[in-house]
Chain A
Amino acid sequence: MAGRRALSLAAMSRLSWRYLWRNYRRTSIMLLAIGVGVWAMIFMTALMRGMVDQMIADGIDALPGLVQVHHPAFRDDPSIENSIPPPGPQLLAALGSPPVEAWTGRVKVPAMISSERNTRGVTLLGVDPAGEIALGFDPASVVEGRFLEGPRDPGLVVGRKLLERLETDLGKRVVIMSQDPDNNVADRGFRIVGVFEAKLSGHEERQAYAGLATVQELLGMGDQISEIAVTGGDYRDVTALHARVREPAGPQLEVLPWTELDRYLGLMLGVMDGFVLVWVIVIFLALSFGLANTLMMAVFERVREIGLMQALGMNPSAILYQVLLESLMLLILGLLLGNLLAIASIQPIRNGIDLSVVAEGFEMMGVSSVLYPALKMQDLVLANVVVIILGILTSLLPAWRASQYRPVEAIARN
């Protein structure tokens, strides 16, 4: 007896394609359902990804840097006692070579700021403006006046909200009070030379920038600094950057990546990938009922033809493959539609969606009021792979049932 044979892939594909469009209305509805489902997967993922990316980017800008060097006690007690010396020759060499792209030394101390009318607690930042800009401070965010012009700049740059709380204005004088290394009050008058707006309102309200040397002089801390902020490479993988800085910094200093400096932000990065997968699977589960039902109907309405094919010598396994191929075609068409819809709907809003109407709520989560959808290849691939794999799994039951009919019973069906 001759060996077992099956239809060629081309012949099976032609058969599947024709069966797929035999009931074009049902197929069109299912295609639309898959397309919209895939669109929802990709579009919502892009929005969420954009939101989290923005949250992380803003968070890193606010830190600033991907890696920071501190006194080991500084994070628990950010006072002047826990300052560190400026980088030595070894650390300087490391900071001057890849993957380090930029770094800056900063003073960061708690302080009180007083205007004629109000007093507020702030974080006083003594910065080198060039280094600060290299680390992510946007000079364009200074909406009134100017940013600092150098480490010895005597002026002060404050956030818009802080300015409002102090009920003062650009060009007016304020007094900054903090503590020197001998626990004495150190104070000084500053003229407000610039007002900045931040993506996160908390920064506008709690941070004040002054020249690094000016603050060091105010606090009598010589050339000591509170932290060294370092940036370079992709924020998703800071292992190399962290290693590059940690070794020359020595054991007496604490060198931490941003994921540990802000654990909430770091957690978001890890959670997001898992969340995308769960989201994609949840949407698919809703879709799978429709897909299974469509295939079941497609199989039930041609039981007789399936029996006929078996009677003519088509193997049960070939019938199973034929139904699966039909499902695969439906899935691929649905994916094409969904991907095109997603790309077409994300492209026009890639420059950001203004969510200022609900920005207050967003800022509580650390998200800015403009949302930039992030369409990532990995998310596209994930959505497509999940739909194909789970789609085929969902189709196995109807396909298996089709292959298990007894020819004589199947042919007798009306």
Chain B
Amino acid sequence: MPNILCNDLCKTYRQGDAVIKALDHVTLEIEPGDFICLSGPSGSGKTTLLNMIGGLDELDRGEISIDGQRVDQLSKGPLADLRLHHIGFVFQAYNLIPVLSARENVEFVMQVQGVPARERRRKSMAILKEVGLDGLEDRRPAQLSGGQQQRVAVARAIVSQPKLVLADEPTANLDSVSATHLMELFRELNQNHGVTFLISTHDERVMRYARRLIRMQDGKVISDEIQKSV
């Protein structure tokens, strides 16, 4: 049974008088534990597809189910629960909460989940060390560089080991060493913990990590292939 099923997804946006087809009859199956990269030019629909699967936006048409549950039919509350317990997000523009420290940002999701304080602290410190931010845990986002902020965002997305991580251009603001380190971390989580990754990227280095590469253009899937040289 597929982990994620996207069937005939359609989404249009209006920009003035123009109608932009962000998703144009996209159908996709994602197996549990898959490691997928979405590539394509800007405006090809990668981010829209991630937002739809994560329940951040509403479809015009089509259906999405995760573990058999129709995401597109959930109301705001249950959608928030789904994101909280099953999905980790990494956004292109870091998106940290500026009034919280790096550690508190990482702990935020666990706090909402109700994880006990001691366990939260242990996990957040470990993951921050893992992403190379040991010693910077008490800094606010404004006191961190772009790359450090992105690593905090990644740590936040994976700290509670969600079933699915949706990452939108996660390496866009990272140097090559940090990008490699991040992708190694993703791969480790994928291989050892079975976390499913769906990553949109332009970065060829990131694509090399994908087991499956989906190319999009004008809101359509133009190729979907398994890579042999992972």
**Is B144's beta carbon under 8 Å from chain A?**
no
**Residue in A closest to B76 when the chains form the complex, CB atoms:** A316
Q: How far apart sit A4 and B99, CA to CA, in the bound complex (Å)?
A: 25
Checking A304, A305, A312, A317 against B84 with a beta-carbon cut-off of 8 angstroms, the contacting residue is A312
In which size bucket is the chain B interface? 20 to 34
Mark interface residues in A397-413 (1 if CB within 8 Å of B CB, else 0).
00000000011100100
B99 near A19 with CB under 8 A, answer yes
Q: How far apart sit A105 and B155, CA to CA, in the bound complex (Å)?
A: 89
B77 near A407 with CB under 8 A, answer no
For the complex formed, measure the closest distance between the CB of B192 and the CB atoms of chain A, giving whole angstroms: 23
**Residue in A closest to B166 when the chains form the complex, CB atoms:** A311
**Is B112's beta carbon under 8 Å from chain A?**
yes
**Is B73's beta carbon under 8 Å from chain A?**
no
**Is A5's beta carbon under 8 Å from chain B?**
yes
Q: Could you say which residues of chain B place their CB within 8 Å of the CB of A312?
A: 83-84, 89, 108-109, 112, 156
Task: Give the interface segment out of A6-14, A199-207, A255-263, A365-373.
Answer: A6-14
A411 near B76 with CB under 8 A, answer no
**Is B57's beta carbon under 8 Å from chain A?**
yes
Q: Could you say which residues of chain B place their CB within 8 Å of the CB of A294?
A: none
For the complex formed, measure the closest distance between the CB of A409 and the CB atoms of chain B, giving whole angstroms: 8
Q: How far apart sit A355 and B33, CA to CA, in the bound complex (Å)?
A: 84
A317 near B77 with CB under 8 A, answer yes
Q: Which of A3, A6, A315 has the most CB of B within 10 A?
A: A315
Interface of B is mostly: helix
Interface size on A, residues (CB 8 A): 30
**Is A40's beta carbon under 8 Å from chain B?**
no
Q: Could you say which residues of chain A place their CB within 8 Å of the CB of B20?
A: none
For the complex formed, measure the closest distance between the CB of A322 and the CB atoms of chain B, giving whole angstroms: 11
A1 near B97 with CB under 8 A, answer no
**Is B56's beta carbon under 8 Å from chain A?**
yes
For the complex formed, measure the closest distance between the CB of A321 and the CB atoms of chain B, giving whole angstroms: 12
With A2-B81, A3-B81, A315-B77 as contacts: A308 and B97 at CB distance below 8 Å:
yes
For the complex formed, measure the closest distance between the CB of A18 and the CB atoms of chain B, giving whole angstroms: 4
Checking A7, A19, A315, A411 against B80 with a beta-carbon cut-off of 8 angstroms, the contacting residue is A315
CB under 8 Å from chain B, chain A span 380-414: 406-408, 411
Q: Could you say which residues of chain B place their CB within 8 Å of the CB of A305?
A: 97-98
A304 near B99 with CB under 8 A, answer no
B112 near A313 with CB under 8 A, answer yes
For the complex formed, measure the closest distance between the CB of A335 and the CB atoms of chain B, giving whole angstroms: 24
Q: Which of B91, B99, B109 has the most CB of A within 10 A?
A: B99
Q: Could you say which residues of chain B place their CB within 8 Å of the CB of A1?
A: 69, 78, 81-82, 85-86
**Is B191's beta carbon under 8 Å from chain A?**
no
**Is A314's beta carbon under 8 Å from chain B?**
yes
Q: Could you say which residues of chain B place their CB within 8 Å of the CB of A283?
A: none
With A8-B111, A18-B100 as contacts: A308 and B81 at CB distance below 8 Å:
no
Q: How far apart sit A309 and B95, CA to CA, in the bound complex (Å)?
A: 10
For the complex formed, measure the closest distance between the CB of B94 and the CB atoms of chain A, giving whole angstroms: 10
Q: How far apart sit A7 and B107, CA to CA, in the bound complex (Å)?
A: 11
**Is B113's beta carbon under 8 Å from chain A?**
yes
**Is B54's beta carbon under 8 Å from chain A?**
yes
**Is B16's beta carbon under 8 Å from chain A?**
no
Checking A2, A11, A15 against B99 with a beta-carbon cut-off of 8 angstroms, the contacting residue is A15
Q: How far apart sit A11 and B97, CA to CA, in the bound complex (Å)?
A: 13
**Is A45's beta carbon under 8 Å from chain B?**
no
**Is A22's beta carbon under 8 Å from chain B?**
yes
Checking B82, B100, B114 against A15 with a beta-carbon cut-off of 8 angstroms, the contacting residue is B100
A313 near B99 with CB under 8 A, answer no
A411 near B111 with CB under 8 A, answer no
For the complex formed, measure the closest distance between the CB of B102 and the CB atoms of chain A, giving whole angstroms: 14
Mark interface residues in B47-82 (1 if CB within 8 Å of A CB, else 0).
000010010111000000000010000001110111
With A15-B100, A18-B99 as contacts: A313 and B85 at CB distance below 8 Å:
yes
Q: Could you say which residues of chain A place their CB within 8 Å of the CB of B91?
A: 308, 311, 411
Checking B77, B98, B99, B156 against A316 with a beta-carbon cut-off of 8 angstroms, the contacting residue is B77
The chain B residues found within 8 Å of chain A, CB to CB, are 51, 54, 56-58, 69, 76-78, 80-86, 89, 91, 95, 97-100, 108-109, 111-114, 156
Which 6 A-B pairs rank lowest in CB-CB distance, beginning with the nearest? Answer: A313-B84, A18-B99, A408-B57, A408-B56, A313-B83, A407-B56
20 contacts between A and B (CB under 8 A): A1-B78, A2-B85, A4-B77, A4-B81, A5-B84, A6-B112, A8-B114, A22-B98, A308-B91, A309-B97, A309-B108, A311-B54, A311-B56, A312-B109, A312-B112, A313-B113, A314-B112, A316-B77, A316-B80, A408-B56
